[in-house]
Structures are given as structure tokens and as C-alpha cells.
Structure 1
Amino acid sequence: MKQKKAAILLLVGVMLMVSACATKPVNRKSGLLKIYEQGSFMVGGTTLSEPGKFDLSTALKPQGQTLHGDHGYVFYQIPPKARKFPLVFLHGAAESKKTWETTPDGREGFQTIFLRRGYAVYLLDQPRRGEAGKSTVAATITPTPDEQFWFTQFRIGNYPDYFANSQFPRDSASLEQFFRQMTPNTGNFDANVVSSACSQLFDRIGAGILITHSQGGGPGWFTAIKNENVKAVVAYEPFSSFVFPTGELPKPIQSASLFGELKGVEIPLSDFKKLTRIPIIVYYGDNIAREPTKVWNSDHWRAGLEMANLWAATVNKHGGNAKVVHLPEIGVFGNTHFPFSDLNNLQIADLMVNFLKDKKLD
């Protein structure tokens, strides 16, 4: 058995070395990437049943048949002698687990950056997205040209111009890769469906750290509320679904956002207080307005950052340990909505590692 495992490790290492030679990414370290275990599975979900009796002679009819859907898809890698707490990564809107994989310009993403640092890594495709696309609700996917909107919304720049200090690579091939990694919903986004799948993942793997991005922030809070196995949350640029106790909901924040005013979500105090039992850190990048402006993308994220600060203050008022970090304020400049895949993603990874070390979760 030991010889078999050694052979598998050697084969994986050789394959990764060949890949490294082919792509020549800037931040790939030399040496083997060691993986003790790797695999994938589905988690969560529901089952629909059609009344009637299945008839082999009319097998294309739904009567008496089932449909399994609304589950999440998980790909995981575990290094030898893994650290105590695995990392679970949940993507944001229009994205999949690809968010955390190789960056658009071919550098290492958080998937392998943290694997090299000894963490078991679990990448989740949320229900009705990516490789978890089997939905129990109908949806119409309309091919609509909208990528220049996303370029601007995600603060790469104000299309067609990049922000002067943007940490996004400026070559056309990287931008094409970024656009091609976006993927549609195969059913309406449902934070409860997503958090239920994510919670069941923690039921399966035990205690761990949840890392969310953007739209994944809301399901992240709900997952932490549902499951005590979530020992910390690291959230990159959450926007919607900030939760507040009943009676403490702040006024909606007005902005020039194309999505209108930003509202919080009211939940029972008993649920909210479950967020106070774990450390939480929230990161926001650069080119976010400090004061109201008519530049809609900068103002959209100004509202998000403002709501995040109100939310963290409320968590801490109830005895919690939440912190919002605006990266330019600590001397880290030019980050987009995707700091974990920007050109300085190793620096961003170091910040997260330092947070985990500070909270004795490394």
C-alpha cells in the first residue's frame, strides 16, 4: 500500500512539473506539489419524484421516475500531514470553483497556493452552477453580450480603460480567459439551497475554515449560523445578504449602483449571535469611492463597504470578533473584485495566513 501511494505521489508530481514547464507561470514554486488524497463528490440536494409507475416500454416518460438536483459539487485535495483545519472555498455570482484555480494569466491560484502551504482544500460549485448544474427548478439561459459590464462591475477598470494601478493582467489573452470562466445559473440563486449544501459539506469533513467571495458572502453567513463546524469565515468583497438582528436593521444605503439601494437582511437575534462565536474577516480591494459619486461601479462598492462596516460593528456589539479590511488602507493597492487571482495574490494569501495564525487556526 505504501509503495502504491508513493507511486501515485510521484506520478502526480511528474505531471505537475510537465504542466509547469508548459505554462511558465510567474508564481509557481519549484519542486513537487505533494497530494496525499484527491477526489470529488456531490453534497446536499433534493429529489423530485413523478407520480405513477415506471414502465420500461415507455422509459422516456417521467411517470414513476426521479430527479436528483440542487446539490453542490466538491473537488478536494489533501496534502501529506495536512494542517488541522481544511479550507472550504465558495465562489460568487457568475462564477464557479474555477475562481480559485489557475489565474486568467496562468499563475497559481488559491487552490494550489494553500495546498503548498499544507492546507486541505475543498472547492465548491454551488447548486445550480458549474458542475452542480442539475437544478430542480426551470430556468431560461439567454446568451446576452454583457462582458463589458462585468469588466466594469468587477472594478478591473471603467471599460475599455484599466484602472491605472489595476492588479489585473492587461494582456488580451488573460482577459479572454477571465470572460470564458464565467458561467450562468441553471436555476434561480437561492441562498438557503446554497448554504444547506455548504453546511452538509462541513457535516462531512468536520471543522474547517470557510472562504467566500462576493455573492457567496450571504450563504457563508447562513452556513456559519447553521453549522458549528465552521470555525472562521474569510469573506472577499461580499455585497448582498448582510444579516442583522431583528430590530437592528440599518437604513438602506443609497448609491449610483445599477442594482439600486443596498438593504440588509433581518434575522432572529438567536441566529445572529451564532456569528459572534467565530472570528470573521472581510476584505475589500481598491478603486472604491470614499464619498458618493455618479461613477456607478465605484459607488456600488462604496455602499457594500459601508454596509460591511455597519454589519461588523453590530457583530462586535453583540460580543463577536469581526473585522473589515480595506486593502488600500493597509498599503495594498490596485486590487480588483478578485484579489485572490490578481497579480499580487501571494500577498493577499499571506494576509489570510496571518489572520489564521493570529486566531490560532493554522
Structure 2
Amino acid sequence: MKLSTLYCVLSLLQAALSSPIGPSKQLEALHRRNVFYAGGEYVFNATQGGTILINQQYVEELIPAAGAKHPYPIVFFHGGGISGAQWLNKDDGNAGWASYFLNQGYVVYILDIWSVGRSSATDLPPVLDARTVELVEIAFSAPEVYKNYYQAQFHTQFPGTGLKGDPAFDDFYARLLPLQFNARQENITRTSTCALLQIIGPAFFISHSIGGSAAFLATDGCPTLVKGHVAVEADQAPFTSYDTSVVGANMSSPARAYGIADVPLTYDPPVTDPSQLVQKMTGQLQYKDGLLFRYPCIKQGAPVHKLVNIAQAPVLFLTTQASVHILFDQCLVQFLEQAGVNVNFTKLADIGIEGNGHFSMLENNSDSIATYILSWLVTHE
């Protein structure tokens, strides 16, 4: 290729890179991308009269263009009702946490948790087809407008108004997918994620919301391959789920019969039936200035069973100032600590990172949170 031709090609490439398509404002970190599926098994399908592959989980591998600088990669687990795209560009067009950690020299793996997105399963009915605009605004993007709980008033970091019609909200809402989560999914996610770790070796986990359940399950399944787990408002409370639209009442429903999962976990003494886990209610429903302030928790009664596999990986558990999770995240932390897990419970407002809701990785100050996570990761390498 002539030098002049090469220059033209490079000029066109530079122009493309400097002129983002759509809403993008900040390009993703330079990287090499590989796509593959982990796990899965061949089964004979009588209806189709042949053999098919099922239960595989979609994975993206992102490798820094300059090469890895850290010995262990990061595996990202997305939240419920959304896909692994959560970790790429943010709704304001800026680069997300995948780029942040790529720029720090980490190899990054992004999952679509089994049954969701590109890991979809056609034989599973959605638990929730779609969330209405109003429920998304209440729980995630604009709780300060609805003020259904006391801490909602402190929410300031979602880009734009957080309401329907705002470009950032519309982009966020368009990302939402049917939510599927049940015992079958938990078992397959545990198996397929451990299959991934068998390929890539030991890794750190960064999870969000329901993705925290998937990460804990994988730690239970292959603890020697998990270096540590950063849980950003992971899942829900032990043994119960609270209504994330929080209309002001103690709206809860039984869930996660094995404490933090609907499937058996590695406890000591062993737990072969959920009835062996004695449930003990602690605390009470609290209000402040007439608004919901804190939910009660359920811990183990005697005898206390230890999560011996999950306890092998340290946990950094983050809760934001204004998310609905501020009402009940302490319940999961208390349960984990009681079960022998080493948890660093950090309320972000206590370290000066204020105004965030549940999707903090997509909000204006997300890099400040990522920087705090980075400091924890480095100390646990």
C-alpha cells in the first residue's frame, strides 16, 4: 500500500473515531473483543428428533489494546431486567465501567446471564415481561420526584430529569428486557459461570442487583477461582423480596428459601432442606418524617450454618445514598457476615460519593465509584 493511500485510510479511521455515532460522547477504551459461549450441554430433543445444545451462556472478552497490567481479569454480572450492555456506554453517551477498567489494564468479561439477552432461553416464561415507565422512574431514575421513601430525596446523579421524554431516560428504558430468574436459572448460571472460570482462570467479580445472586452462586460452585466480589447493591434481602416501588408499606414476599438462593448452597453444617435454616426476624419497620426509612431483616436462628465456599472470597458490598436498596441492603450484609463471609460494607455517602440511585454505574459520578472499587481490587490481587 502506498504511503498516501495508507494516510487516507488512517485519516478516514481517525475521522470515524472522532465523530461518534448517535448519542455517544466519549469513545470506549481501545480493546480487542472476542465473543464466545461458556457451558452448555448436548441433549436429545424428541420433538425435533435430534440433538441440540442448551444452557450455554454468552460472554464477551475485552482485552486492553496495550495489554493486561493486572494478574486477574474482571467478570461483570448485570442486574435484572437488563443485559451486559449495562457495562458499556452509559445513557448520557459516555463510556461505562468496562472502559474504565480496560483503561486501568484489566481484561474484562461481560456476561448475559443465562436466559437473558443473548443467553435467552425460549422455554422459560418471563417472571416480568416489562417494567412500566412509572415503576422505572420510582425505583431507578427519579425516586426524588415520587419520594416514596425518605432517602429518595437525595437522588441527584441520574443524567437529565430521569423522566420519560428525557433522552437519557429513554435510552435507559430502551435497554430493559424481560426479567427471568428462578431455580433452574440459578443452577445453570452457577454451572456456566464456573465453566467460564475454568477457561479464563481466577477472576474478580463485579455484580449489580440480581447479578449479585449469580456471582454468589458461582463463588459457591467454584470458590478457588474467585479472587473477590464487588457487589453493587446485590440482589435483595435474605428469605424475602421487598417491593422496589416502595409505596410506603412493608410489602414483602417470601423468596430465596436457602437464604440467598432458591437452590441448595454449600453450608456447614450441611443444609439439605430449607427448613433446616431457622429464620429469625431482627429490627422493625422504621419511618422518618413520615416516610419509609428502613426494613426489618431476617437472619439465622440457632444453629447458624456457615457459607463455607462463598466465605472463601472477600466481598466489597456497596450501597448508594438514595437507592431503594438503602432500606434493606444491611439485611444481606448481616446474613453474609453471620454465615462467615468477610464483607466490607461501604455506604458510598459515608466516603463522600453522594446522590446515587440503584444504577450508579450509569450515573454522572460513576467514575468516582469505579475509582473506589479499583483501590479495593488492587489491594486484593
Query: Is the TM-score greater than 0.5?
Result: yes
Residue 43 of structure 1 contacts residue 72 of structure 1 at CA under 8 Å; is this kept in 2?
Answer: yes
Q: Which residue of 1 is the match for residue 378 of structure 2? A: 357
Q: Which residue of 1 is the match for residue 332 of structure 2? A: 308
Distance verdict in 2 for CA 1:263–1:357, change over 3 Å: same
Residue 44 of structure 2 contacts residue 50 of structure 2 at CA under 8 Å; is this kept in 1?
Answer: yes
Choose the corresponding residue for 1:105, options 65, 77, 92: 92
1:210 is aligned to 2:205: yes
1:18 is aligned to 2:5: no
Q: Which residue of 1 is the match for residue 4 of structure 2? A: none
**What TM-score results when the alignment is normalised by the length of structure 2?**
0.72
The structural deviation recorded for 1:301 is 4.1
The structural deviation recorded for 1:358 is 2.1
Residue 68 of structure 1 contacts residue 134 of structure 1 at CA under 8 Å; is this kept in 2?
Answer: no
The structural deviation recorded for 1:16 is 7.1
Distance verdict in 2 for CA 1:22–1:176, change over 3 Å: closer
Deviations 1:80-111 (A, max 9, x none): 33021111001111011011111111111011
Distance 1:252 1:16 in 2: 58
The structural deviation recorded for 1:309 is 3.1
Q: Which residue of 2 is the match for residue 287 of structure 1? A: 322
State which drifts further: 71-80 or 175-184.
71-80
Distance 2:89 2:137 in 1: 19
The structural deviation recorded for 1:255 is 5.3
Q: Which residue of 2 is the match for residue 251 of structure 1? A: 280
Paired AA for residue 55 in structure 2: D
Residue 144 of structure 2 contacts residue 155 of structure 2 at CA under 8 Å; is this kept in 1?
Answer: no
1:274 is aligned to 2:309: yes
Paired AA for residue 137 in structure 2: F
Distance 2:30 2:12 in 1: 8
The structural deviation recorded for 1:277 is 2.4
Paired AA for residue 351 in structure 1: Y
Distance verdict in 2 for CA 1:13–1:195, change over 3 Å: farther
Q: Which residue of 2 is the match for residue 4 of structure 1? A: none
1:176 is aligned to 2:173: no
| Identical-residue share of aligned pairs (%) | 22
Distance 1:221 1:24 in 2: 33
State which drifts further: 321-330 or 205-214.
321-330
The structural deviation recorded for 1:50 is 2.6
**SS of match in other structure, 1:251:** strand
Deviations 1:281-330 (A, max 9, x none): 00001125xxxxxxxxx4x6412x22133134325xx4x53211111122
Count of matched residue positions in the alignment of Structure 1 and Structure 2: 318
Paired AA for residue 171 in structure 2: Q
Residue 44 of structure 1 contacts residue 72 of structure 1 at CA under 8 Å; is this kept in 2?
Answer: yes
- Structure 2: which 5+ residue stretches go unaligned? 1-9, 237-255, 261-266, 270-275, 287-291
The structural deviation recorded for 1:274 is 2.1
Distance 1:311 1:11 in 2: 57
Distance verdict in 2 for CA 1:142–1:355, change over 3 Å: closer
**SS of match in other structure, 2:343:** strand
Paired AA for residue 139 in structure 1: P
Distance 1:192 1:15 in 2: 47
- Equivalent residue runs for 1:123-202 within 5 Å: 123-135=110-122, 137-139=123-125, 146-154=132-140, 156-159=142-145, 163-171=153-161, 172-185=166-179, 188=182, 190-202=185-197
**What TM-score results when the alignment is normalised by the length of structure 1?**
0.76
Choose the corresponding residue for 2:102, options 102, 105, 115: 115
Deviations 1:201-227 (A, max 9, x none): 111110110111111112211211211
Paired AA for residue 84 in structure 1: P
Distance 2:210 2:128 in 1: 21
- Structure 1: which 5+ residue stretches go unaligned? 1-9, 52-61, 289-297
State which drifts further: 233-242 or 142-151.
142-151
Distance 1:151 1:175 in 2: 9
Q: Which residue of 1 is the match for residue 243 of structure 2? A: none
Distance verdict in 2 for CA 1:104–1:65, change over 3 Å: same
The structural deviation recorded for 1:278 is 2.3
Distance verdict in 2 for CA 1:175–1:279, change over 3 Å: same
1:237 is aligned to 2:233: yes
Residue 210 of structure 1 contacts residue 233 of structure 1 at CA under 8 Å; is this kept in 2?
Answer: yes
Distance verdict in 2 for CA 1:283–1:155, change over 3 Å: farther
Distance 1:327 1:205 in 2: 31
**SS of match in other structure, 1:231:** strand
Paired AA for residue 135 in structure 2: F
The structural deviation recorded for 1:265 is 8.9
Deviations 1:30-65 (A, max 9, x none): xx9432x321011123444233xxxxxxxxxx3422
